[in-house]
Amino acid sequence: MRVALFLTCVNDTLYPDTGRAVVKLLTRLGVDVDFPMAQTCCGQAHYNTGYRHQAEPLARHFSDVFGSDEYDAIVTPSGSCGAMVRELYPRMGERARSEGRGDGLATTLAPVVPKTYELTEFLVDILGVTDVGAYYPHTVTYHPTCHGLRSLGLGDRPTRLLQAVKGLELRALPGADECCGFGGTFAMKNSDVSSAMGTDKVRNAESTGADTLCAADNSCLMHIGGTLTRLKSGVRPVHIAEILASTEEDPLS
């Protein structure tokens, strides 16, 4: 199976370790991974802030880069960018049509929509694995990020994967389904509310006694992680891909 890794611009720039973990994990599972070099950004920040028209060229670019038949699937370690492609690209095409601009955008975007999978979804639904042979001897609490939880409906896929990790003890996070307060530009436009939400998330994570807070989206982890270090918390924010990539021979340091 040949897969295109859609890493997202945030991960590419700020969290390359997550990308390396995805490559390591998928390669271990026998998947042929490619990273199309021309990829940039799915346009989510533009779209969600109200710049739909400026998100359109980015969506077209995404389709140009990832729409190739040589890929069986497009895999991304980001629930919110996955949701952008799967949920919002069709909506963008629909809106363009209702504005009298024809089917062009919808037709361009259509090929990538059904092929795009968030990482845990791809592992469980397409590869059919829950035990990926990982080893991570830590106590972990899992934060299901909003877009993964509600837009993509990831359900218990991430926690099933985590439960199968050797040495890992999973601890339930109180108020797990509550937003961490990131929300893209919301974190800056409504900084006070965003910070209050982040602080509550951190307190909930601490209350579990876990040493690791895990999520499937680095944008949320950036917000939670920035709050964790500011509050001098000992909890470590880690992307789920890095836990799943970790093995006894080559553990996550």
Partner 1 sequence: MPAFPTAAREAVGNKTLRANLRHATHTIRDKRARAVAELDDWDQLREAGKRIKDETLRHLDRHLIQLEESVTAAGGTVHWAADADEANRIVTALVKATGETEVVKVKSMATQEIGLNEALEAEGIHAYETDLAELIVQLGKDRPSHILVPAIHRNRGEIREIFAREMSEWGRPAPDGLTDTPAELAEAARLHLREKFLRAKVGVSGANFMVAETGTMVVVESEGNGRMCLTLPETLISVVGIEKIVPTWRDLEVFLQTLPRSSTAERMNPYTSMWTGPSQEDGPSTFHLVLLDNGRTDTLADEVGRQALRCIRCSACLNVCPVYERAGGHAYGSVYPGPIGAILSPQLRGTQSEIDASLPYASSLCGACYEVCPVAIDIPEVLVHLRERVVQGGEVTRHGTRVTLRPAKGHAAERAAMRAAGWAFGRPGALRAGQRLASGTRRFHPRTLPGPGRAWSATRDLPKVPAEPFRDWWRRTNGGRAEKGDKK
Map the footprint of partner 1 across residues 198-227, applying CB under 8 A: 198-199, 222-223, 225-227
Closer residue to partner 1, CB minimum distance, 162 or 187: 187
Residue 247 makes contact with partner 1 by CB under 8 A: no
Q: Does 252 participate in binding partner 1 (rule CB under 8 A)?
A: no
Selected from 105, 154, 187, 210, the binder of partner 1 by CB under 8 A is 187
Please identify, among the stretches 67-75, 124-132, 196-204, 209-217, the one whose residues bind partner 1 according to the rule CB under 8 A.
196-204
Stretch 35-54: interaction string toward partner 1, x if CB under 8 A: x-xxxxx-x-xxxxxxxxxx
Count of residues that interact with partner 1, criterion CB under 8 A: 74
Query: CA 173, CA 202: separation in Å to the nearest integer?
Result: 10
**Binding piece for partner 1, criterion CB under 8 A, among 133-141, 173-181, 207-215, 239-247:** 173-181
Q: Which of residues 58-117 bind partner 1 (CB under 8 A)?
A: 58, 61, 91, 95, 98
Q: Using the Cα atoms of residue 19, residue 22, residue 28 and residue 29 in order, give the sign of their dihedral.
A: negative
CB atoms within 10 A of CB 150: 15
Which one, 178 or 211, has the nearer CB to partner 1? Answer: 178
Q: Does 19 bind partner 1 (CB under 8 A)?
A: yes
Check residue 190 for interaction with partner 1 (CB under 8 A).
yes
172 binds partner 1 (CB under 8 A): no
Instruction: Among 1, 9, 129, 170, indicate the residue that binds partner 1 (CB under 8 A).
Output: 9
